[in-house]
Structure 1
Amino acid sequence: MTSELEETGLKLILIGNSLVGKSCLLHQFCDSEFDQEIGTTIGVDFRFSSVNIGGKTIKLQIWDTAGQERFRTITSTYYRSADGILLVYSITSKESFDQIHHWYNEIKKNAPKSVATVLVGNKKDLISERVIKTEQAEELAKELNLPFMEVSAKTGENVQVAFETLGKLATEGNKPQTEDDIVLSDNEQQKKKKCC
Structure 2
Amino acid sequence: MTGTPGTAATRDGEAPERSPPCGPSHDLTGKNKVVTVDGVRVKLQIWDTAGQERFRSVTHAYYRDAQALLLLYDITNKSSFDNIRAWLTEIHEYAQRDVVIMLLGNKADVSTERVIRSEDGEMLAREYGVPFMETSAKTGMNVELAFLAIAKELKYRARRQADEPSFQIRDYVESQKKRPSCCSFL
Q: Same fold (TM over 0.5)?
A: yes
Cα 1:181–1:67 shift into 2, 3 Å: closer
**Aligned AA for 1:188?**
C
Q: 2:78 aligns with which of 81, 91, 94?
A: 94
CA distance in 1, matches of 2:62, 2:79: 24
| Bigger RCO (CA 8 Å, 6+ sep) | 1
CA distance in 2, matches of 1:160, 1:73: 29
TM-score by length of 1: 0.71
Deviates more, 1:79-88 or 1:55-64: 55-64
CA distance in 1, matches of 2:130, 2:55: 25
Cα 1:191–1:136 shift into 2, 3 Å: closer
**Aligned AA for 1:185?**
K
Shift of 1:181: 4.2
Deviates more, 1:58-67 or 1:152-161: 58-67
SS of 1:107's equivalent? helix
Residues 124-172 of structure 1: per-residue CA shift (max 9 Å, x gap): 0011100000011111110010000000011111100011111222333
SS of 1:173's equivalent? helix
Q: Which residue of 1 aligns with 2:108?
A: 124
Query: In the TM superposition, what are the counterparts of 1:107-118 in structure 2 within 5 Å?
Result: 107-118=91-102
Q: 2:176 aligns with which of 175, 184, 187?
A: 184
Q: Which residue of 1 aligns with 2:21?
A: none
SS of 1:163's equivalent? helix
Q: 1:65 aligns with which of 22, 43, 49?
A: 49
SS of 2:43's equivalent? strand
Q: Is 1:53 matched with 2:33?
A: no
Unaligned runs of 5+ in 1: 1-5, 13-40
Cα 1:72–1:139 shift into 2, 3 Å: same
Deviates more, 1:180-189 or 1:74-83: 180-189
Q: Is 1:146 matched with 2:154?
A: no
Cα 1:104–1:11 shift into 2, 3 Å: farther
User: 8 Å contact 1:90–1:96 — kept in the other structure?
Assistant: yes
SS of 1:169's equivalent? helix
**Aligned AA for 1:119?**
L
Shift of 1:62: 1.2
SS of 1:146's equivalent? coil
Unaligned runs of 5+ in 2: 1-9, 17-24, 159-165
Report the number of matched residues.
159
The root-mean-square deviation of aligned C-alpha atoms, in Å, is: 2.8
Residues 80-107 of structure 1: per-residue CA shift (max 9 Å, x gap): 1101110110100110101110010111
Residues 28-82 of structure 1: per-residue CA shift (max 9 Å, x gap): xxxxxxxxxxxxx945221112001122111121111242223201122111110
TM-score by length of 2: 0.75
Q: 1:8 aligns with which of 5, 12, 25?
A: 12
Shift of 1:109: 1.1
